[in-house]
Structure 1
Amino acid sequence: MVSGRTTERVARANPVVDRVCVDEQRTGPGPARNMGASEAGGEILLFTDADTVVPATWVRRHRRHYTTPSVRGVGGPLRPLEDGLRHRACFHVLSDWWYRACWPVGFVQQPGPNCSVRRTAFERIGGFDESLRFLEDTDLSLRLHRDGTVVDDHTCPVATSTRRQQRVGYGRLFATYLLGYLEYALPGRSPSKPYF
């Protein structure tokens, strides 16, 4: 699933890509991911983003968890694609450490650029909530968690661009997420501010 012209061009030029879906309406990550899932084959669906580089072992590392029938989804941490101590430190705190602290208390969050789901579970819960413009990956993770097990594989990171963090700033980004989580937790509310 692609949403930008450059991404589409790169995807079409890659010899291993057999199908390219284009999100012409650009209605957000939830609808785009659902469109990609509807076109994909196979029982395990893996999601990442255009500005993310996955390791060669990524699919195998996710897939190994699905030998356990109760597993509905798998997530892993994010690392900065660009180098720099500030980026590495902030990503460790906001991605890796945050997930390790939240998952044991039931607040599971598969990050959109590094997650997979069992198709049958994905379809049973209705996929990504297309009404959410933000935290659609957290919402999916929590609904999967109610259906079965969601695994946090901290040994399976992906590298993603820091351009959003550089543009917005880590402090403002953290505040945006915190406000989004609070809105999401309130009954009858959902994150109202589009993140992308």
Structure 2
Amino acid sequence: MISVIIPTKNEEKYIKRCLISLNRQREYIGEIIVADGGSTDKTVEIARRYADIVLVDPRLNSPGKGRNAGANMAKGDILAFVDADTLVNDEWGKAITEAFNQKGVLMASGPVYPYDSSILLKIAYIFSYDFLVRVTRFLRITHFLGLNVAYRKDFFIKLGGFPNTKLSEDILLSMKANKYGKSVFSRKMSVLSSARRLRKQGIGWILLYLIFNELKVIFKGKPLEYYPEVR
């Protein structure tokens, strides 16, 4: 069974569409868990209408803490993680199931496409993420983003879950996981994600941030310590 975990904080503009896209795949998704870090808007109210479990705790003040808290409550043997502004495609649940039916697969991910941006930003977003995945997998330091990634639960627990960092906890965990087993990058496991950060900060700033962050993670094992919050 797949348990989907979504960390949230003040995501009332996005969470409903995310949860509706997940609920369309109940054939594969056994439960949907929202871990909220103390929203002051209508996020929790909306989540309670569409999710199976809604955990509210102001101490869940980072995506990693929210994901770990949700994972601790999950009953499924596969843990899938998305963000509140993520929309999964109609084959997403099936793609995860197929990926983990393969022998030795411990984690899986898929492409990410923006859904609310200009053509230029879409091209830049797709190119940069696809390039990142291809290069890191070639170098055997796989970097999967937390907005679209799945792990076997027993393996996730063995690794200790997402590290307690402000940023890049998803990249650090996937790098660690890559040392122990097989990963799958499935085109069928694609998602749409909001380009609000690209619109707010610009593609140039984002690309520079990603480059410097990747280099620091690869060579020092630590991410950058600052990333502006965008709602």
Tell me, yes or no, whether TM beats 0.5: yes
Q: Contact 1:184/1:190 (CA < 8 Å) preserved in 2? A: yes
- Please give the per-residue CA displacement for 1:104-153, whole angstroms capped at 9, x wherever unaligned: 221211111111000011011111001x2111111111111111011111
Question: Does residue 164 of the first structure (1) align with residue 220 of the second (2)?
Answer: no
Matched-pair contact (CA < 8 Å) for 2:83–2:146 = yes
- Residue by residue over 1:145-172, the C-alpha shift from the partner in whole angstroms, topping out at 9 and shown as x without a partner, is 1110111113321001111111111111
Structure whose residues are more often helix by fraction: 1
- Unaligned 5+ runs, structure 2: 1-34
Residue 58 of structure 2 aligns with which residue? Answer: 24
Q: Specify the SS of the correspondent of 2:226.
A: coil
* TM-score (structure 2 length as normaliser): 0.77
Q: Does 1:111 align with 2:145?
A: yes
Task: Calculate the TM-score normalised by the size of structure 1.
Answer: 0.90
Give the CA deviation at 1:194. Answer: 4.0
Range with bigger deviation, 70-79 or 55-64: 55-64
Higher percent of residues as strand: 2
Say whether residues 1:33 and 2:67 are aligned partners. Answer: yes
CA RMSD of aligned residues (A): 1.8
* Equivalent residue pairs, number: 193
Q: Is 2:87–2:191's contact at 8 Å kept on the other side of the alignment?
A: yes
> Taking every aligned residue pair, what percent have the same amino acid on both sides?
26
Provide structure 1 residue ranges, at least 5 long, that are not aligned to the other structure. none
1:79 corresponds in structure 2 to 113
2:42 paired with 1:6: yes
- In 1, the alpha carbon distance for the partners of 2:220 and 2:145 equals 23
- Higher relative contact order (Cα pairs below 8 Å, separated by 6+ residues): 1
1:87 positional shift: 2.4
Pick closer, same or farther for the CA change 1:188–1:94 going to 2, 3 Å: closer
> What residue identity is the alignment partner of 1:43?
D
- Please say if residues 52 and 158 of structure 1, whose CA atoms lie closer than 8 Å, have aligned partners that are also in contact: yes
